[in-house]
Amino acid sequence: MRKNSIKNTRINGEVLRELSNIIRGGIKDPRIAPMTSVVTVEVAPDLKTCKAYISVLGDEEAQKSTLAGLRSAEGYIRRELARNINLRNTPEITFILDQSIEYGVRMSKMIDDVTKNIPDRAEEPEDKAEEDQE
């Protein structure tokens, strides 16, 4: 099976959905932040390994503790994944912190701060039109 085949894409989507459900509702570890989401999943073509990119909304300490909690619950997560998805092999999951959502929020806030100080361009043509008429 090739990496970008239809079957691999479908498996990635299914693993992403089930992994999100397991993290959201199945794990009772207090270290895992409530605003944890699975951004994307890459399952290897041989179904032996899986990279799960995790986004945690919070400070750096919350991100570290969430990754530690997920790594300690890896056996439980893998067992639940095997129970919910019928695959030949249940992939071994590697959790990777993905900060793309946090980066996007920070960039959006910076853009808003910069544009807040710029006067609206819609007002400028009216002022110039009034000056031209005088």
Q: List, in sequence order, every residue forming a beta bridge with 42; answer none if it has no partner.
A: 51
Averaged confidence pLDDT in the chain:
84
Summarize pLDDT for 8-61 with one digit per residue, the tens. Answer: 899 999 999 999 999 888 888 888 888 888 999 999 988 899 999 998 887 888
Tell whether the model's pLDDT for residue 127 goes beyond 80.
no
**Fold for domain 6-99?**
GMP Synthetase; Chain A, domain 3 (3.30.300)
Q: Would you kindly state where each structural domain of the chain is located, as residue ranges?
A: 6-99
Cross-strand bridge partners of residue 50: 43, 93
Look up the pTM and report it: 0.72
